[in-house]
Amino acid sequence: MQSLQVARNCRRAVDPTPELRDFDALTGLAVRNFFRQRLEQQWDICRQGHRHLGLILIDFDKLSSFRANNHKHTVGAALADAAEVVRLACRRRADLAGRVRSGEFAVLLSDVDCDGTRMMAERIRRDVAELAISRGGDPQGGILTVTAGAICVVPPASHFPHTLMIACDHVLRDAKDEGGNCIGVRCSL
């Protein structure tokens, strides 16, 4: 993560391009608007080519316990560390990780089937848990974990890209209802 920050600072000094506003300063992941633009582009590409498009939403379990105990520096460090895990999981050039809400990340996977999307979601969940980020002030203790909701489809012409986000959000909420630190996957809208 440090090398990414150094590269950004050097680039900013030489050429303060508008692309820098497309990435979150804390996490280094794409910001919500840039992520949504890429989702729309990939939706069209995958729909026209009849290829799979996967989306994973990643939500931190009990992140509010950090905030409730005024450990804001811990929240930022935890988000940055977890973002690095998510970023490193995106190994292909077409993969994109983004910060779509305050405590929620997303991964866009084009041309990856349902099994590949499931494996990516599980890898991220496992790797964040392996960071063993302490909850600090959480009275129940433990480590920070994430829950992921994933969906993978060949985009139908009868739907729009935001339909994928909405469906994936439902899968994530269902997984959260299971108790957290798990993944939920659906292979249809």
How much is the CA Rg of the chain, to the nearest whole Å?
Answer: 17
Q: What percent of the chain has pLDDT over 90?
A: 60
Residues 24-78 pLDDT 10s: 888 889 999 999 999 999 999 999 999 999 999 999 988 777 655 655 547 788 8
Q: Report the residue count for the chain.
A: 189
Query: Residue with structure tokens 């909420």?
Result: 173
Alpha-carbon gap, residue 154 to 77, rounded angstroms? 36
Instruction: Give DSSP secondary structure letters for 55-112.
Output: EEEEEETTTHHHHHTT-HHHHHHHHHHHHHHHHHH--STT-EEEEEETTEEEEEEET-
User: Would you place residue 7 in the very low, low, confident or very high pLDDT band (cuts 50, 70, 90)?
Assistant: very low
Alpha-carbon gap, residue 30 to 185, rounded angstroms? 23
Instruction: Give DSSP secondary structure letters for 138-187.
Output: -TT--B--EEEEEEEE---TTS-HHHHHHHHHHHHHHHHHTTSSSEEEES
Instruction: Give DSSP secondary structure letters for 113-139.
Output: -HHHHHHHHHHHHHHHHHT--B-TT-T
Residues 121-174 pLDDT 10s: 999 999 999 988 776 655 555 788 999 999 999 999 999 999 999 999 999 999
Residue 189, pLDDT above cutoff 60: yes
Instruction: Say what the pTM is.
Output: 0.84
